[in-house]
Amino acid sequence: MKRMKKIEVVIDTIHLEHLISLLENRGFTGYTVIKDVYGKGERGLMIGDEVTGVFQNSYLFTICEEQQLNDVIEDLRKMLKKYGGVCIVSDVDWLIH
Amino acid sequence: MSLDLLIQNVLNPVILFFFLGVLSIFLRTGLEIPQPIPKFISLYLLMSIGLHGGYELSKSGLDFYVFKVLGLALLMAIVVPIYSFFILRLKVDIYNAVAIAATYGSISAVTFITAVNFLQSIGDSYSGFMVAAMTLMESPAIIIGLILLNIFAKKSDNGNLDVKELLRESFFNPSVYILTGSLLIGFITGEKGWKVVDPLFGQLFKPMLAFFLLDMGIVAARRLSELKKVGMFLVAFAIIIPIINATIAILIASSVGMTKGDAFVFAVLCASASYIAVPAAMRLSVPEANPSIYVTMALALTFPFNISVGIPLYYWLANKILGG
């Protein structure tokens, strides 16, 4: 087991690519995405129920070392301020295999 | 406005299916249409209206009258978002003002389709090239909105605007692309082509529209809970600005000698608000604007108002001003 940081982001599907390129530019080599998650936040009901996909959210999670988290956290904050969304950081144990 | 006209419009299976959708949310029936189906039907409707418009255009041909109407359509698509923006700035922050102005400067294809359906049901006609006017009115509002944003927002707030991406999104978004493409196909293939596609794109059109409006009713009613965010000023705006836009459109139409049917359709286009092309573009280019405000206004207020009261009202206005 290895102590790591887990970053979870829920973001508008339309901006998902932007988030992924931000992480990749910061040296993140892996992530997992679940498309079309739904819920409600400050931008209203995000349920993906209309034809444009405007109200469609996606969920992304990745894990990293604490240093890598410190490098990316401000970029994430700026991005969420502009585009909306939620980011949660937690301590996790990574199973080395 | 005559009550007969209003009843005739509302007591139409297509419109009643919209309200059936609305009611299903209030009654919590759990009625839901699987997501890919409305997307498919919206494509179908755009293809159908484009093909039919192209076919009608091939019959009528291109003359000065056509170009005059198309020019006016383009003019309104530029002017409406500009004055809407300044009205909105009285109460709304710059980002939401831009997004709402662009929403109301663009058009709703389904409102247009419903208006055409109404016109046919009362035995009146319009020129097929009005579909070209509709296509032409989809995108300019997006560009105007962003020009306004660049003029009035702090430069530092929107420094990374990708103009190339924005133009691509404005002029090649799926709805504009499929409409324009279908219009060209309909125009090129003419009557022969229309006969081939008529069983699917002509005869099935109204049942498919009913299906789509059922879903629209469900979606619009779900968005009603967001009205608290919208506020009274914007609720009033969502109802009053379509009437103002339609009145201006009919006055312009009468001054340039448009036919009554064309003037009515032109008014409906100017009165409608986009909830497909513009929101998709705004999410990319003005992410600071809140979609639960501008989409809710267009979808849960203006659209139901237009298809129930607006359409007969604009027809009555066209009758009054252009003579019936």
The band of A56, judged by pLDDT with boundaries at 50, 70 and 90, is: confident
H helices of chain B, in order, are: 3-10, 13-26, 36-60, 64-88, 94-105, 109-121, 130-138, 140-152, 163-171, 174-197, 205-223, 227-255, 260-271, 277-285, 291-296, 303-305, 311-322
Confidence at residue A33, expressed as pLDDT on a 0 to 100 scale: 97
Confidence bin at B44 (pLDDT 50/70/90):
very high
Other Cβ atoms closer than 10 A to B63: 9
Q: Do A45 and B226 touch (CB under 8 A)?
A: yes
A13 DSSP 8-state letter: G
Q: Which of residues 27-86 of A touch B (CB under 8 A)?
A: 43-45, 47-55, 82-84
CB contact under 8 A, B283 and A54: yes
Tell me: pLDDT of B160 over 70: no
Question: Can you name the CATH fold of A2-94?
Answer: Alpha-Beta Plaits (3.30.70)
Q: What percent of chain A has pLDDT over 90?
A: 65
Domain range summary for chain A, segments of one domain joined by +: 2-94
> How far are the Cα atoms of B50, B110, B169, B197, B214 from residue B182, in angstroms, in the given order?
5, 16, 19, 11, 25
Task: Grade residue B230 by pLDDT with cuts at 50, 70 and 90.
Answer: confident
**Among chain A residues, CA nearest to B36:** A51
Q: Which of A41-50, B46-55, B88-97: highest mean pLDDT?
A: B88-97
Is the confidence at residue B87, as pLDDT, over 90? yes
Average pLDDT for B150-162: 65
How many CB atoms neighbour CB B32 within 10 A? 10
Tens digits of per-residue pLDDT, A8-28? 999 988 889 999 999 999 999
pLDDT at B324: 60
DSSP per residue over B37-57, as a string?
A: HHHHHHHHHHHHHHHHHHHHH
Q: State the helix-helix crossing angle for B36-60 and B174-197, rounded to 10 degrees.
A: 60
Tokens of B284: 């990319």
Tell me which long-range contacts B159-165 makes (C-beta under 8 A, separation of at least 24): B161/B285, B165/B284
Q: Is B14 on the interface with A (CB under 8 A)?
A: no
pLDDT beyond 90 at A92? yes
- Please indicate whether residue A23 or residue B1 has the higher confidence score (pLDDT): A23
Positive or negative, the CA dihedral B9, B214, B275, B89 is: positive
What is the total residue count of chain B? 324
What's the residue count for chain A?
Answer: 97
Say whether residue B178 is in contact with chain A using an 8 A CB cutoff: no
Q: Domain extents for chain B?
A: 3-19+35-323
pLDDT at B57: 84
Size of interface A-B (CB pairs under 8 A): 54
Q: Which CATH number fits domain B3-19+35-323: 3.30.2350.10, 1.10.3720.10, 3.40.50.720, 1.20.1530.20?
A: 1.20.1530.20
Contact in structure between B53 and B132 (CB atoms under 8 Å): yes
Predicted TM-score (pTM) of this structure: 0.86
Residue B155 has pLDDT above 60, yes or no: no
